[in-house]
Amino acid sequence: MENFITRRRRRELLVAAGLLVFAIVAPMAVKDVTALNVIILSLLFAGLAQAWNIIGGYCGQISLGHAVYFGMGSYVSTLLYVQAGLPPSAGIFIGGAVGGLAALLVGWPCFRLSGHYYAIATVVVGEIGYLLFLNWDYVGGATGVYIPIAKPSLINLQFGKDKLPYLYLTLAFVAATWLAAWLIEGSRWGYAWRAVKDDVVAARSLGVNIFASKMAASAISGFFTGLGGAIYGLYVGYIDPDSVMAGHFSILIALPAVLGGVGTLWGPILGAALLIPLKELSSSYLGGSGRGVDLMLYGAMIIIVALARPQGLVSLFGRRKHGAP
Amino acid sequence: MALLEIRGVSKSFGGVAANVEISFEVEAGEILGLIGPNGAGKTSLFNAISGEVTPDAGEILLDGQRISGLGPVACAERGIARTFQVVRSFDSMTVLENVMVGAFARTARPPAAMRAAQETLEFCGLAARADRPAWSLSPPEKRRLEMARALATQPRIMLLDEMLTGLTPTEAQGGVELVRAVQRRGITVIMVEHVMEVVLPLVSRAVVLNLGRVLTIGLPSEIVRNPEVIRAYLGDRYAAD
C-alpha cells in the first residue's frame, strides 16, 4: 500500500543509504589523527544517543542512568577478554546483552514510577552502579583495567595505530542503531511505545501493555548502550569507573538526542555531530582547566534550543513538522 | 443471556461513593444510554467496565465471563473499547498513526494495521485528515478520531463518554449518525450523555444514575416522564405529582 507513511519511510531509508556511502568514502581523505578521533567519538555518541532515544524518545521514559549500561558493556567485554581470553569481536555483543539485561533489572522496579520520579530513580541507579564498580576489587576497583595490546586483527578488534578501522566500527554501530530505530518506527512496538509516551491511559484502553512496552524499549536501548560502551572501552584501551560509569556519561548519552530532537530518527545523529566536536574542541583548547566548560556550553545550547525549538534542531529541516506544538 | 452484566458494582474513592450496588444488563446490538446529572457516577462506571478501575464489590460479566479486575488491556482484548470525556489523542502522531495503534490490537502486521486503520477512518469520515498531525484537528474531529481509534480494535462493546457534548447541533447530528452506523456494524453501544434531548431519540433504553445509584431503567419515553428523574435533574419544584 502506497501512502504518506510508506513514502516517508522509503525516503528516510534512501537518505540514510546516501549518508552511509558518504560516511564510508569521506573519512578516507582525512589524515589528521585529531580529526579522526573527533569523528570516531561523534559517531560513537550518535549511536549511543540513538540507543537512548529508543527508550527516552520513542517510549518517553527519560533515563538518566544509561552510564550503568554503558559501563557494564565495556567492563563485561574487557574482563571477558582479559580474564577469559574471549576475543572482543564476540565480547562486545555479550557486553551489549549484559547491558540489555541490566536495563531489564533496573526497569523492573523503576517502571513502577513514572515521569520525573522514574528519571530520579535512574539517577540513583547510575550512582549505585558507579560506586559498586569503584569499590569492587575483582573488576579493578578505582585502578581500572588495561586492555592488553594484541596483534591487529578483526577478531581482536585492535588495529594498532590505524584509526580508520575504528571509525568504520563506530560507523557500523551508528548504522545499526539507526536501522533499529527505523525498524521500530514502522513496527507494532514503535506505535505502542509512542502511544505510551503520548498518553498511557488511552494506550492501555487500546490494548497496549504499558509495562511490557517500557521493558522491551529499555532492553533494546540497554543492549545498544552496552555495545557502544564495549566499543568505547576497546578504543580508549583502558577503563575505570570514572571513564566509563561516571554520571556525566548518562548526560552525555542523552544530550545529543535532546538537542537534535527526541523521538526522531535524525535528531540524535544531528545532535552528536554538533555536541561532540564542540566538547572535544573546548577541552583541547582549554586543556585540563576546560573541564566543565563544555558542560556550560551544553547548558547554554540546551537552553537556546528549548526556548527557540522545543522539538529539537531536526525540526529546522521541515520534515516531520507534526508533533506537539 | 445478556452480552454484558453489571452485578452489584460498588466503588468508593476515599469517602466518596462513586458507584453503589449498580446492577443492569446490556443486550447485544442495542444502544444503551447512561444518563444522570454531574457526579452521578457515569464515568466511574465506564472506568469499571473498561477495566481502568476494579470495583470494590460486585462483578462485571461479558458473555457470562468475569471481566472486572482484569485490567484495561485484557478488557480491550475481549472486545471492550472506549472514548474519553476529555479527549486523549496521541499528539506526536498523525491521525492515521493514532488509529493504527488501535488496529494493532488485532494484528501484528503493519500493512494490515494500516489498511484497517484507513478503512476505519473512511467509516468515520476522517479519511481526508489521515496524514494530518492529531493535535491539529478541531474538537469534533478529535472526538471522531477517538471513535475511529476505538473502532479499530474491532470491539463488541463501545463505550462513548460524552461524545456529543459541547458540539454544535450540526456536529452533534453528524455524531448521532456515526453512532447509528456503529450500531449497524453489530457493535453494542453504551453512551454517557447528560444532554437528554440528544441522547434519548438515539437509545433503545436508558439507565439513569443519581448519586452513584441506579435511579431507574427504562424506555426513553418512560424516562422523560419519570418524576424521580425530573426531580434529580431539575429539583423538587418541577416534579409532577
Q: A321 and chain B: CB distance < 8 Å anywhere?
A: yes
Q: Region B110-116: what's the mean pLDDT? A: 95
Q: What is the pLDDT of residues A120-141, one digit of tens each?
A: 999 999 999 999 999 888 888 8
Specify if A324 maps to a domain: no
Q: Tell me what the pLDDT averaged over chain A comes to.
A: 89
Give the domain extent around A17: 4-317
A216 at the B interface (CB within 8 A)? no
The x, y and z cell numbers of residue A96, run together, are: 551489549
Best residue of B54, B80, B90, B159 to probe chain A, by most A CBs closer than 10 Å: B90
Residue A105 lies in a domain: yes
How would residue A324 be classed by pLDDT, with cut points 50, 70 and 90? very low
Contact A264, A321 (CB under 8 A): no
pLDDT at A301 over 90: no
User: Which tens digit of pLDDT belongs to each residue from B66-75?
Assistant: 999 999 999 9
Residue A323 in domain: no
SS3 category, B108: coil
Average pLDDT, chain B: 92
Q: Is A203 on the interface with B (CB under 8 A)?
A: yes
pLDDT band at B241 (very low <50, low <70, confident <90, very high): low
pLDDT at res. A288: 61
- What's the rounded Cα separation, in Å, for the pair B12 and B28? 29
Nearest to B101 by CA among A189, A217, A6, A197: A189
Minimum-distance CB partner of A188 among B77, B84, B108 = B108
Residue range A188-197, pLDDT digits in tens: 999 999 999 9
- How many domains in chain A? 1
Q: Is the pLDDT of residue A310 over 90?
A: no
Which pLDDT score, from 0 to 100, does residue B158 have? 97
Q: Assign A280 a pLDDT band (cuts: 50, 70, 90).
A: confident
Q: Could you tell me the pLDDT band of residue A284, with boundaries at 50, 70 and 90? A: confident
What pLDDT score was predicted for residue A287?
64
Three cell numbers written together for A123: 539517577
Residue type for position A193: W
Average pLDDT over residues A84-99: 94
Identify the CATH number of the domain defined by range B4-79+155-238.
3.40.50.300
Judge whether A318 is closer than 8 Å to chain B, CB to CB: no
Taking residues A301-316, report their average pLDDT: 82
CA–CA distance, B203 with B137 (Å, rounded to integer) = 28
Q: Which residues face B209 on adjacent strands?
A: B214
Q: Is A182 inside any structural domain?
A: yes
- Residue B239's pLDDT band, with cuts at 50, 70 and 90, is low
Best B104, B114, B156 member to test A by mutation, with max A CBs in 10 Å, is B104
More confident of the two residues B166 and A254: A254
Rounded to the nearest angstrom, the minimum Cα separation between B61 and chain A is 18
In the prediction, which pLDDT does A286 show? Answer: 72
Contact call for B111 and A197, based on CB within 8 A: no
Tell me whether residues B92 and A197 touch, CB distance under 8 A.
yes
What CATH number does the domain containing A85 carry? 1.10.3470
- CB distance A208–B101 less than 8 Å? yes
pLDDT at B235: 75
Q: What is the pLDDT of residue A115?
A: 86
Residue A323 has pLDDT above 50, yes or no: no
Report the C-alpha gap between A168 and A157 in whole angstroms.
11
pLDDT at B152: 97
Half-sphere exposure of B79 toward its Cβ, with a 13 Å CA cutoff? 14
Question: What is the mean pLDDT of the segment spanning A90-94?
Answer: 95
Instruction: Say how far apart CA A249 and CA A122 lie, in whole Å.
Output: 13
pTM of the model: 0.92
> What would the pLDDT profile of A216-274 be if each residue is shown by its tens digit?
999 999 999 999 999 999 999 899 998 888 888 898 899 999 989 999 999 999 999 99
For residue A1, pLDDT over 70 is answered with no
Order of all β-strands in the sheet with B65-66:
B16-26, B4-13, B57-62, B65-66
| Residue B17, strand partner residues | B12
What residues of A are in contact with residue B91 (Cβ under 8 Å)?
198, 323-324
Residue B105 sits at the chain A interface (C-beta within 8 Å): yes
Residues 237-266 of A with CB under 8 A from B: 263
Report residue B240's pLDDT band, with 50, 70 and 90 as the boundaries: low
Q: Look at the alpha carbons of B62, B67, B73, B77 in this order and tell me if their dihedral is positive or negative.
A: negative
Alpha-carbon span A47 to A54, nearest angstrom? 11
Q: What is the mean pLDDT of residues A21-47?
A: 92
Count how many pairs of residues, chain A against chain B, have C-beta atoms within 8 Å: 109
Q: Are strands A145-146 and B16-26 parallel, antiparallel or unpaired?
A: unpaired
Inter-CA distances, A275 with A38, A174, A231, B13, Å: 11, 16, 20, 50
Subunit contact B110:A201, Cβ cutoff 8 A: no
How would residue A322 be classed by pLDDT, with cut points 50, 70 and 90? very low
Number of alpha carbons in the 13 Å side-chain half-sphere of residue A56: 30
Q: What is the pLDDT of residues B38-50, one digit of tens each?
A: 888 999 999 999 9
- Is A322 inside a domain boundary? no
Does residue B40 contact residue B20 with C-beta atoms inside 8 Å?
no
Q: Give the confidence band of A209 by pLDDT, cuts at 50, 70, 90.
A: very high
- pLDDT band with cut points at 50, 70 and 90 for residue B168: confident
pLDDT at A4 exceeding the cut of 50: yes
The sign of the torsion formed by the CA atoms of A60, A64, A65, A67 equals positive
Q: Where are the domains of chain B?
A: 4-79+155-238, 93-148
| A194/B76 touch (CB, cutoff 8 Å), yes or no | no
What are B180-221's pLDDT values in tens digits?
Answer: 999 999 999 999 987 777 788 899 999 999 999 999 999 988
CB of B198 within 8 A of CB of B163? no
A254 falls within a domain: yes
Strand pairing report for B4-13 and B16-26: antiparallel
> Is A286 or A34 the better-scoring residue by pLDDT?
A34
Distance CA B215, CA B211 (A): 9
CB-closest option in A191, A197, A209 to B73: A209
DSSP B214: E
pLDDT at residue A317, rounded to an integer: 78
Of A11-25, A52-66, A145-159, B104-118, which gets the smallest average pLDDT?
A145-159
